[in-house]
Structure 1
Amino acid sequence: MSTETTDNTTRTLDVREIDGEPFGEIMAALETLPEAGTLVLVSRFEPVPLYNVLKQRGFTAEPSQRAADEWHVSITHA
């Protein structure tokens, strides 16, 4: 897993290399996300079950498929 800050408000969390469930790492990254910030989640699949959790916690998600096994999901505060 790697976390990268691309500017003051955008962070990238690549969970493709995590063995097992990345939910904890995703939630930890969101806890420190600035109000005007964006977390770009990079995953091997579209994390559909995550969308409802994000909505319940006050976030929005915009998915984008980049390749057959690469999804980028931009997560922001609602």
Structure 2
Amino acid sequence: MSENKTLNEVDVRDDIKKGMEPFKKIMEAAEAVQPGGQFILHAPFNPFPLFKALGKKGFTHESERIETKQWKITFTKADEEA
């Protein structure tokens, strides 16, 4: 039996640049993540408020600054204990 832990990537830099709110897009990506899975967010800043919102849904995160206006944040969903 193979595990489905597809890694989704969401890049909201252009959305933010155009003045669009990316929260719904990010939350949809988070909802698709299976326990133990991950998704990567590319953003123009380190999105501190998002950490609390996704933390409530069982996610931890690791942030990496790539360039001045590019952050790569890897969100990992906790495994569910059986």
TM (normalized to structure 2)?
0.79
RMSD: 1.2
Kindly provide the amino acid, as one letter, of the partner of residue 29 in structure 1: A
Q: Relative contact order, CA 8 A, sep 6+: which one is greater?
A: 2
Higher percent of residues as strand: 1
Aligned pairs for 1:42-57 within 5 A: 42-57=42-57
Per-residue deviation, residues 1-60 of structure 1 (Å, max 9, x unmatched): xxxxxxx52111001111322111100111111223210000001101111111111111
Q: Which runs of 5+ in 2 are unaligned?
A: none
Kindly provide the amino acid, as one letter, of the partner of residue 7 in structure 2: T
SS at match of 1:65: strand
Q: Which runs of 5+ in 1 are unaligned?
A: 1-7
Residue matched to 1:65 = 65
Runs of at least 4 residues off by over 4 Å? none
Contact between 1:9 and 1:36, CA under 8 Å: does it hold in 2? Answer: no
SS at match of 2:50: helix
Aligned pairs for 1:1-78 within 5 A: 8-18=5-15, 19-78=19-78
TM (normalized to structure 1)?
0.83
Percent sequence identity over aligned pairs: 35
Deviation at 1:72, TM superposition (A): 0.4
